Amino acid sequence: MRNFCRIVIETMGLLRTAKRWIQRLKRWKKHQSLPCTAVTTSPAQPTFNELRQRLRNAVNAGESDTSEQLLRALRQQFPVPTVDILRKGKWNMEKDQVIFRTHAKAEVEDAVANVESTGRSVSEEDRNRLQLLMSHWFAWSPTTAEHRNDSWMCFLRRVYSLSELQPILDTLVWPEEFARYPPTFSAFRPWMFLLATSASYYLYDLEEETMYKAGDQLADVVDGLQRERWGVDPLLEQVWSTGYEGEARDYFPVYYNVPDRD
């Protein structure tokens, strides 16, 4: 009797195991019949450096349509720094060139306001000249009003004895702008500046720590840049400093360990 009960129990266990196995088999077949949706992933967006290099390659190859598409893509994905294409024929350029302007904002109205801060009036011709100057391959932009009296301007006024000097265009990058730069791209070293008083316009070369008188009118400035008269013969009239200790760039927002302009 005891053996019979053990056999019955074992038989029932086998039946339960078989039943569970059949149920699992049915569920597996049901899942196998379900439609399978392929897993897709969105392609990774190109990095700043990748877009930058593609744009330069397209510009160097003379591919205008591709250049414009890449320019729009770069501006949309990376609004800072401001990228532009300088077309050949302007400012003695023999071929198109990709340039990165120093400020996130570059409006001619700001340049006009800077000139007017010297007490000058700005004619429509002068407005057009300012727009032309802003397109120069120096890649400078109008100085914003809140930075007109920063330490670098106080320095220039003092050491060149030009108390009324006002900034017009600069090649600086403000700290608030630099914070928005792509992590793989750094600010270029500042270089040329356009400044003015009520009487004259000036070019300041920070790399050479040299101030030049560029003329009394904006037309003189445009002519001097078109003829590339700074730093080469015939030289623009140099303005001598009263002397100072250290380096001029100590007074300017300069980010060290950054690449040279290319």
Is there a domain that residue 26 lies in?
no
Q: Which residue has the higher pLDDT, 14 or 167?
A: 167
199: containing domain = 105-251
Number of domains within the chain: 1
Q: Is residue 65 part of a domain?
A: no
For residue 130, with 0-12 CB atoms within 10 Å meaning exposed, 13-18 middle and 19 or more buried, which class applies? buried
Q: Is residue 87 part of a domain?
A: no
Count CB-CB contacts under 10 A for residue 100. Answer: 18
Position 259 in a domain: no
Measured distance CA(43)–CA(54) in Å, rounded: 17
Taking only the tens place, the pLDDT of each residue in 191-225 is 999 999 999 999 999 998 999 999 999 999 999 99
Q: What is the pLDDT of residue 6?
A: 45
Q: Does a structural domain hold residue 181?
A: yes
> For residue 127, is it within any domain?
yes
In a domain, 246, yes or no: yes
Residue 120, domain member (yes or no): yes
Which residue type, as a one-letter code, is found at position 194? Answer: L
Average pLDDT over residues 105-113: 93
**Euclidean distance between CA atoms 208 and 206, whole angstroms:** 5
